[in-house]
Structure 1
Amino acid sequence: MFIMKTKTVTKLFKKVCLLSLALVSFTTIAQEEEKKWFDNFSVNGSVDGYFRYNFGAQNDNSTAPATSFANQSGFALGMANLILGYEGEKVGFVADLVFGPRGEDAVFLSDGSSQIVNQLYAYWNVTEKFKLTFGNFNTFLGYEVISPTGNFNYSTSYMFSYGPFSHTGLKADFAINDSWSAMVAIMNPTDYTENNPFDTYIFGAQVGYAADNGSAYLNFRYGNEGEPGLVGPTFQVDLTTGWDLSEKFYLGVNTTYLTTEDQGDADASGFYGVALYPQFKTTEKFTLGLRGEYFSVFNGGLVDVVGLDAEGDGSVIAATLTGSYDIGDLTLKPELRLDSTSEDFFSDNDGEATKSLSSFVLGAIYKF
């Protein structure tokens, strides 16, 4: 009798254990599937604002460096940035939405509801080494980006401000090996992100090299940026690179050259520049960095940017010293900036023309 009871209890115990194990396995699998499903989606972004003050010049928004975004006086708004994404095994998408003055400046050629769209694209990982992206994406040229979370300095450079912001088109990325990559693209005229009002297209290309301590990218774009016959083709070549020279010292470099052919007998016009970005990490929370930029316009390639002489030439040297202090997900960026032009471009407190402007900016960026 005792043996029978023991066998019965043992069988019952085995059944309970097997049932429990099955339930645990099912629950674990369900949790893993649920976790994996939700892990494919991402939501992140940022909000930012700033304070700007001119030294020895008027503070009424009429006097500021002719660069993007941080050019209002007093306390001013940046933007709210919301980025939604889905990353599947083969396909995915990104919907990057912006709200506020910085976002409006970033998508300035848009109209209607698309004014909030910074990026909107889908992609297909055809193979492990070949990827296609279709839609509206931020430019691959240059060192700086639209989002303040991607830049060390809060104010932006001249090269960034007058290079392309975004493109709409189709691009193909190739991973040649662990270090080398390439990209080719066909796109609408620059910054025409919603449609193409001209029967012209821009061709882009990139060659990249990445190592453990840094990377370098050589970028190109070529094509007619406007109505055929009215605007000549534009060519731009751009080098962007950055390297960790030690645990605490980083050096970034950006140089660019842009030229647009004239449709008549005049010489081509455009601009070129170079910027250095040394950064030194003093503590875990504080980093000090300098952006030193030289930017030159030739043959009237840009107007109302640096001041031009009778031949349409002009240049500016801009030095920006920025501190970056992290408080959790909040980053404070105090910076001092000095812009000095070859021709009179700014005005002092008395409204007299002058070649230099010094200013202070305090940016606050929260990233989530």
Structure 2
Amino acid sequence: MKNLIPMLIMGLFATLPMKGQDTMAPLKISGSVDVYYKYDLRSGSDGLEESNINTSFAGDHNSVSIGMANLIVSQTLEKVGFVADLSFGPRGQDRSILNAKDGNSFHIQNLYLTYSPSKGLTFTAGFMGTFIGYEVISPVDNFHYSTSYLFTNGPFQNAGIKASLVISDKITIMAGLFNDWNVYHDANGLADFGTRLSLNPVVGFDVDFHLLTGPTSGTTVDVVSRYAWTSMWSTGVNFTVQRKAEMVPDYAGLALYQEVILSDALELGVRTEWFKYTNQNNGTGSFMNSGYFAATLTGNINLGPLTLIPEWRYDFSERPEFSDRHGDPVSSASQILLAAVYAF
């Protein structure tokens, strides 16, 4: 693996274009703004500050709260390009990762460079949203506003260098070397190896096989698939197994996503998820053998660039890990929310 790094760098610079070879292209600016109101049905207490369902984001109870303002600046020339993706607000920072030392709300979601020496081949280096999983940090690219247990427990970002090769219109492969999960700088260096095999055997069906492994991060095997039954109905699947990480519990989970387009203005989706922490003995005993089943019913009301997202969620746990309105442990929890996401 040590010899692979200089080989990648030498191959990259051997085919770099001379200065002035590419003509300038305009900057592209995009992003989003989101806010939400959530009510935890277990409580009845307006003083509750933390969510009863401890997945990422949408944690405030009985409050109109902000998600984040997301600003993406990018540019692509003939062979080279960059993406700078910045976020401001709790969804991008303290409800995510990598808090700034001074406690501000600034967070880098993506910051990377790309180089394509030939058609179908692209090198990418920098800090990138993870390739693991079905869901992402930005609410624009998720159907559901709340997130799954698989998303919350998996990596959010991977810093490193990767190469992606389009073999045909049905097969794409990616391989790279990365830091440990969610860090800009890793004292262990590029210790993780990650790869993806993307298949698109027929129109409307795609499946991605992911592997991410390293001495500290452990080994993650992840499968993401989506099938369009009709132009109005699609099914998504995410299956993940995580083993032998030093900082997070071992876990396994399966999530199913059903999405139906009722009209141009209205879509409905159901997410069902089974998730379980397993065989953990690294100081995270509170998660020992805990299992969950969650069902989420979500609507997307499309009003041009603005999407309203009403949602109802019900979670079950193998042990009584939630709380009722009196603070007593129970095995189920429920919440409703209404989010508004504006994309530009």
Residues 302 and 215 (structure 1 numbering): CA distance in 2 closer, same or farther, change over 3 Å?
farther
Q: Does 1:280 align with 2:260?
A: yes
Q: Does 1:117 align with 2:108?
A: yes
**TM-superposed deviation, 1:300:** 3.0
Partner of 1:87: 76
Contact 1:244 1:250 in 2 (8 A): yes
Residues 135 and 301 (structure 1 numbering): CA distance in 2 closer, same or farther, change over 3 Å?
farther
Partner of 2:5: none
Total equivalences in the alignment: 316
**TM-superposed deviation, 1:44:** 0.3
In 2: Cα distance, 1:302 partner to 1:154 partner: 32
Partner of 1:61: 49
For residues 12-56 of structure 1, the C-alpha deviation after alignment (integer angstroms, 9 at most, x for no partner) is xxxxxxxxxxxxxxxxxxxxxxxx955x42100000010100113
Q: Does 1:97 align with 2:83?
A: no
In 2: Cα distance, 1:347 partner to 1:235 partner: 33
**TM-superposed deviation, 1:304:** 8.0
**Which residue of the other structure, out of 162, 169, 187, is the alignment partner of 1:171?**
162
In 2: Cα distance, 1:318 partner to 1:78 partner: 22
In 1: Cα distance, 2:263 partner to 2:90 partner: 33
* Residues 131-170 of structure 1 aligned to structure 2 (within 5 Å): 131-170=122-161
In 1: Cα distance, 2:290 partner to 2:327 partner: 21
Partner of 1:323: 299
Residues 202 and 303 (structure 1 numbering): CA distance in 2 closer, same or farther, change over 3 Å?
same
Partner of 2:197: 207
One-letter code of the match for 2:199? Answer: Y
Contact 2:34 2:342 in 1 (8 A): yes
TM-score normalised by the chain length of structure 1: 0.81
One-letter code of the match for 1:153? Answer: H
| Unpaired runs of at least 5, structure 2 | 1-22
In 1: Cα distance, 2:198 partner to 2:283 partner: 33
For residues 261-303 of structure 1, the C-alpha deviation after alignment (integer angstroms, 9 at most, x for no partner) is 68xxxxx960000000011111111001000000000123798
Q: 3-state SS of the aligned residue for 1:103?
A: coil
**TM-superposed deviation, 1:201:** 1.1
One-letter code of the match for 1:198? Answer: N
| Unpaired runs of at least 5, structure 1 | 1-35, 226-232, 263-267
Contact 2:49 2:60 in 1 (8 A): yes
Partner of 1:42: 28
Partner of 1:300: 280
Q: 3-state SS of the aligned residue for 1:86?
A: strand
Contact 1:215 1:243 in 2 (8 A): yes
**TM-superposed deviation, 1:235:** 0.6
One-letter code of the match for 2:192? Answer: I
In 2: Cα distance, 1:356 partner to 1:269 partner: 22
In 2: Cα distance, 1:46 partner to 1:350 partner: 38
Higher CA-based Rg: 1
Identify, as 1 or 2, the structure richer in helix.
1
Partner of 2:238: 254
**TM-superposed deviation, 1:62:** 3.0
In 2: Cα distance, 1:46 partner to 1:323 partner: 19
**Which residue of the other structure, out of 201, 222, 225, is the alignment partner of 1:241?**
225
**TM-superposed deviation, 1:212:** 3.0
Contact 2:177 2:193 in 1 (8 A): yes
In 2: Cα distance, 1:250 partner to 1:331 partner: 20
Q: 3-state SS of the aligned residue for 1:101?
A: coil
Q: 3-state SS of the aligned residue for 1:337?
A: strand
For residues 42-90 of structure 1, the C-alpha deviation after alignment (integer angstroms, 9 at most, x for no partner) is 1000000101001132451234211111111121110000000001110
Residues 291 and 303 (structure 1 numbering): CA distance in 2 closer, same or farther, change over 3 Å?
farther
**TM-superposed deviation, 1:106:** 6.3
For residues 199-252 of structure 1, the C-alpha deviation after alignment (integer angstroms, 9 at most, x for no partner) is 561110000012431321000000022xxxxxxx60110000111110111100
**TM-superposed deviation, 1:198:** 2.9
One-letter code of the match for 2:38? Answer: R
Residues 185 and 106 (structure 1 numbering): CA distance in 2 closer, same or farther, change over 3 Å?
farther
Over the matched positions of the two proteins, sequence identity in percent amounts to 34
One-letter code of the match for 1:72? Answer: D
For residues 87-114 of structure 1, the C-alpha deviation after alignment (integer angstroms, 9 at most, x for no partner) is 1110000000000000104652253589
Q: 3-state SS of the aligned residue for 2:269?
A: strand
Contact 1:107 1:118 in 2 (8 A): no
Contact 2:100 2:107 in 1 (8 A): no
One-letter code of the match for 1:299? Answer: N
In 2: Cα distance, 1:144 partner to 1:261 partner: 21
Q: Does 1:366 align with 2:316?
A: no
In 2: Cα distance, 1:301 partner to 1:275 partner: 25
